[in-house]
Amino acid sequence: MKRLAIIGACYAVFLSNSLLSLFFGATELTVTTSNRKQLLLENVDTLEKKRLQLTAKLEALRSDPESVIVEARALGFYRHGEEVIYLQNLKPSEITLEAGSALYLKPLESSNRESHKIIAIAVGLLTLFLFLANRNSRYAD
């Protein structure tokens, strides 16, 4: 009976250690979710700054006719009747659209430690099941 108590205590320590390290370890579940939360907060801040820039640009386009002309020319549009001079060696400026770049999230990093811990928990549960089945078979005899 004493041996049974020692084995049960060792199993309880192993299982609790595995569960605690799975959820609260240095690179595991809680850290991963807090890193993802931080990344999303940074994305929200970036999108808020971009929204303010675009709102200011929209307000300028609504109120200033010259800004409309500048933006249209940057996009390659000209008024009817305007003369356009093309220089052969100069390339037009490239416009980079940044609307969706802040929403890109990196995939979560997977660690081998996490899978090892899950396997360890499964082995521990299987061992407990076999131990209890063996104990019940002794009492049945």
pLDDT for res 106: 59
In whole angstroms, what is the distance from residue 109 CA to residue 88 CA?
Answer: 48
Pairwise pLDDT comparison (101 vs 119), residue with the higher score:
119
In whole angstroms, what is the distance from residue 65 CA to residue 134 CA?
Answer: 87
Residue 133's pLDDT band (cuts 50, 70, 90): confident
Token couple for 33: 């979710």
Residues 131, 7 contacting (CB under 8 angstroms): yes
pLDDT for res 109: 58
pLDDT digits (tens, 9 = 90+) for 79-103: 888 887 777 776 666 655 555 555 5
Going by C-alpha positions, the residue among 124, 127, 126, 118 that lies closest to residue 22 is 118
Q: Up-side HSE of residue 59: CA atoms within 13 Å toward CB?
A: 6
pLDDT for res 40: 86
Secondary structure string (H, E, C) spanning 57-107: HHHHHHHCHHHHHHHHHHHCCCCCCCCCCCCCCCCCCCCCCCCCHHHCCCC
pLDDT for res 52: 93
pLDDT for res 24: 65
Least confident piece of the model among 46-50, 63-67, 79-83: 79-83
User: In percent, how much of the chain has pLDDT > 90?
Assistant: 6
pLDDT digits (tens, 9 = 90+) for 5-34: 677 777 777 777 777 777 666 656 677 778
Helices 29-63 and 2-24 meet at what angle, rounded to 10? 10
